[in-house]
Structure 1
């Protein structure tokens, strides 16, 4: 399944279950918010910058091999495959493990998202850059994103090679996007993300309980998420919503939630809250109530 900015919550679902998903979010946030000077600096850090034809050929082969290795990240579509009936395998356990570890998207769909959407025509800095500068900056960002996305299967040396050009130029990637404009509800949304990021063990238990309390309600969460995504699309705020969701990935990781939490609904609940707050001025009360419900339960007086 291809990733897209308009469905950034789905990308987030994968990132919160990957070992280095937070780093992927940091790279994407850097790409979303980088100005001409930063993109030019990234281009200057490209391994191909100043390389001759033979060197560029070698680098291209190594990049292709790294992406071939990245394809080994488990996919959700393979759930249950290879599990023979009657083989003494707990099929439920296998399915749960696949849900925790398997991704919806792929390394190639992530790279396509970065190159075509994040660094697409709507990026405000790109028109001011030369074509070769844009391409080399995209190469550095794509290498870093793919290296982090596939951190669980890539050899350490390959990961470092993919990530180092980016890290050498952007040493503070872990905080990029923190001051981004998130729309009319920016102050409230920043508060929510800060509270989530600071959750301790007791706070995480309270969030899980707030999520569990809403499971029996069977409200149309997916429909409300779609409504908010559509509102972002038609209002031209797709990049804003994607930024908010990537910041939520960062907060989810900083809070200490696990891949199991991500698979069990804790991420979807947070993504819904973020979706509601970012696009709340364009949603009806019903959708807002559905998406904000976990936060409402978490913060209700006890």
Structure 2
């Protein structure tokens, strides 16, 4: 499955469960904020086509070890039933299996986040050469943390090095331009202690019987984000949410059990509460109100 700007919350679900997902989020936020000057610096840090080709060959070998979660998702309900009976195998796979992959991450960076760098004429489209090199650097740095594991530690370091050389600021803060209403939620989640994390887990458990309400409400909120041309802002908010989720000590287990979806819904609703029917807004904001009042 490809990652998209529209599906930022889905990308967040994957990144919330990855050990270094917050770093991926920071790289993607840097890409979102990048202008022409930043692209120039990134392109100058490109390792060159031959060196990158060598790294890509090694990367392809690592990719075959990755297992997609798509075929497993229909069994998510069964996983919770199994966990209640002490059968945790499926749940463990839900904690680690990805909805997307590194190729989807590259497409997101190159074709969606940097969509403004493509030159178009009729049905033909080609990316500006400087932007194409910059996209290589950003995509490689994001993939290095997305795929990070001890076995290929040298490869990840090599892939991330050009971004560090470019001296483009890594956006690992919680500030979101044009969405100041998200600040309260992000900072509260990032500052969570064990009592707050426990409250989130309890609320998610308590609301589980009502999860059928969440999907249509989230769909409506995402549609409102799209119609109001707030997609890039929403992606920035969701990615900042990933950073806050990690910083607050929430785990892959928390994300797999629903804590990430709850947070993603709160953040999305906050962006378009002015456009949402009250019932849908209440569904998405309910976890926040129950935990924080």
Match in the other structure for 1:142: 139
- Tell me: CA distance 1:171–1:204, structure 2 relative to 1, closer, same or farther (3 Å): farther
Q: Alpha carbons of 1:9 and 1:213: their partners in 2 closer, same or farther (altered >3 Å)?
A: same
Match of 2:3 in 1: 3
Unmatched segments (≥5 aa) in structure 2: 76-84, 119-126
Q: Which of residues 99, 105, 110 is equivalent to 2:94?
A: 99
Match of 1:43 in 2: 43
What is the TM-score with the length of structure 2 in the denominator?
0.87
Establish whether residue 30 from structure 1 lines up as the match of residue 30 from structure 2. Answer: yes
Does the 8 Å contact 2:181/2:271 carry over to 1? Answer: no
Q: Say if 1:177 and 1:251 are closer, same or farther in 2 by CA, change over 3 A.
A: closer
Provide the C-alpha distance between the structure 2 equivalents of 1:282 and 1:248, rounded to a whole number of angstroms.
Answer: 21
Do the aligned residues in 1 keep the contact of 2:172 with 2:240 (CA within 8 Å)? no
162, 166, 177: which is aligned to 2:163?
166
| Alpha-carbon distance in structure 1 between the residues aligned to 2:67 and 2:150 | 9
2:115 and 2:59 mapped to 1: Cα distance?
24
SS in 2 for 1:155: helix
Shift of 1:58: 4.3
Q: Secondary structure at the match of 2:17?
A: coil
Partner of 1:230: 223
Query: Do the aligned partners of 1:27 and 1:173 also contact (CA within 8 Å) in 2?
Result: yes
Q: Which runs of 4+ in 1 moved over 3 A?
A: 77-80
1:217-256 correspondence runs (5 A): 217-256=210-249
- Pair 257,236 (structure 1): closer, same or farther in 2 beyond 3 Å: same
Aligned partner of 1:119 among 104, 111, 114: 114
Q: CA RMSD in A?
A: 2.2
| TM-score between the two structures when normalised by the length of structure 1 | 0.85
Measured in 1, the distance between the counterparts of 2:281 and 2:176 equals 25
**Aligned-pair CA distance for 1:69:** 1.0
Give yes or no for the alignment of 1:265 onto 2:258. Answer: yes
| Runs of 5+ consecutive residues of structure 1 not aligned to the other structure | 49-55, 81-89, 124-129
User: What secondary structure sits across from 1:23 in the alignment?
Assistant: helix
Residues paired across the two proteins, number: 274
**Counterpart position of 1:181:** 178
C-alpha displacement of 1:19: 1.5
Q: Post-superposition shift, 1:22?
A: 0.6
Residue matched to 2:187: 194
Report the Cα distance in structure 2 between the residues aligned to 1:67 and 1:178, rounded to whole angstroms.
35
- Answer yes or no: is the 8 Å Cα contact 1:70–1:146 preserved in 2: no
Deviations 1:245-268 (A, max 9, x none): 001001000001111011011100
Distance (whole Å) between structure 1 residues aligned to residue 52 and residue 292 of structure 2 = 52
Q: Does 1:109 align with 2:120?
A: no
Q: Deviations over 1:87-139 (max 9, x none)?
A: xxx9932101100000011111111111100111389xxxxxx9221111101
Change (3 A) 1:112 1:47: same
Cα deviation, residue 152, structure 1? 2.8
2:267 corresponds to:
274
Shift of 1:223: 0.6
Shift of 1:172: 4.3
Query: What is the deviation of 1:63?
Result: 1.8
The superposition leaves residues 136-177 of structure 1 with CA deviations (integer Å, 9 ceiling, x where unpaired) of: 110100100111110137511000000011122247415367
**How far off its partner does 1:8 sit?**
0.5
| Segment drifting more, 144-153 vs 107-116 | 144-153
CA-CA distance at 1:37 after TM superposition: 1.6
